[in-house]
Chains A and B, each alone.
Chain A
Amino acid sequence: GAVVSQHPSRVICKSGTSVKIECRSLDFQATTMFWYRQFPKQSLMLMATSNEGSKATYEQGVEKDKFLINHASLTLSTLTVTSAHPEDSSFYICSALDRGSYNEQFFGPGTRLTVL
């Protein structure tokens, strides 16, 4: 199947700093990518839909100024957590939609963010 990578896999940062997470589709083009957040022992919550060349669509309750999403190319979407706080610590997972594969979503391995 198609491969989606995320970088970094783990990041620890201080409160108040910004962290950028990259999501790449390695062998297919993805006009649409999704960003999910997963709290410990909980399910995945969709944060936003990232569309190449246009603004992301954020789910209710997700601050767009805090979680900046940029989908600059057909293979890359980035999520920047700005002015991070300890409550932003979580597991962030992206997925990429492969329209050439029955619109299947392929998931990245996730990024563990810890804010001190």
Chain B
Amino acid sequence: GEDVEQSLFLSVREGDSSVINCTYTDSSSTYLYWYKQEPGAGLQLLTYIFSNMDMKQDQRLTVLLNKKDKHLSLRIADTQTGDSAIYFCAENNNAGNMLTFGGGTRLMVKP
């Protein structure tokens, strides 16, 4: 079946850039997503990228997709303390629009 993996933890200083990485196995993914989850809350869609794109920028967020290596990354520029959260990547596996999630990366931003 599909598999999506992320590193568990990332710590950065306020003002630095954060890069969260994700690898996936399903080559038929059409959309790949980044979600943010704050403590005790649901998921907030941050951004998504269509599989025929290799980059998407949205304000402080930059998504890079290497389809050959099945590698997705999320770069947050000028990271703020409010960016501290768990970030999930997910892929749409085309089977009934179900999403397969990675394990989540906990981002800690130090002042």
Q: How far does the Cβ of B24 sit from chain A's closest Cβ, in whole Å?
A: 13
Least distance between B9 CB and chain A CB atoms (Å): 11
Known A-B contacts A34-B98, A103-B97; A43 and B103 likewise in contact (beta carbons under 8 Å): yes
User: Which of A44, A107, A110 has the largest count of B CB atoms less than 10 A from its CB?
Assistant: A44
A interface, over-half SS: strand
Give the contacts of A17-33 with B (CB-CB under 8 A). 32
Closest residue of A by beta carbon distance from B92: A103
Number of interface residues of A (CB under 8 A): 23
Stretch at the interface among B39-47, B57-65, B77-85: B39-47
Contact residues on B (Cβ < 8 Å of other chain), bracket: 10 to 19
On whether the beta carbons of A110 and B42 are closer than 8 Å, the reply is yes
The A/B interface has a contact count, at CB < 8 Å, of: 47
A61–B84 Cα distance when bound, in Å, is 33
Partner of B88, one of A43, A57, A97, A112: A43
Alpha-carbon distance A109/B38, docked complex (angstroms)? 10
Residue ID in chain A nearest B96 by CB atoms? A49
Residues of chain B contacted by A105 (CB below 8 angstroms): 97, 99
- B41 contacts A109, C-beta separation under 8 Å: yes
Q: Which of A1, A49, A57, A112 contacts B40 (CB 8 A)?
A: A112
Interface membership of A113, Cβ < 8 A: no
Report which residue of A93, A103, A107, A110 has the largest number of chain B beta carbons within 10 angstroms of its beta carbon. Answer: A107
Chain A residue contacts of B96, Cβ below 8 A: 32, 49, 57
**What is the interface of chain B, defined by CB distance below 8 A to chain A?**
35, 40-45, 48, 88, 92, 96-104
* A binding-site residues for B, Cβ under 8 Å: 1, 6, 32, 34, 42-44, 46, 49, 57, 91, 93, 95, 97, 103-110, 112
Q: Could you list some 23 contacts between A and B, CB below 8 A?
A: A1-B45, A32-B96, A34-B98, A34-B99, A42-B104, A43-B104, A44-B88, A46-B99, A46-B100, A57-B96, A93-B42, A93-B43, A95-B43, A104-B45, A105-B99, A107-B42, A107-B45, A108-B42, A109-B41, A109-B42, A110-B40, A110-B42, A112-B40
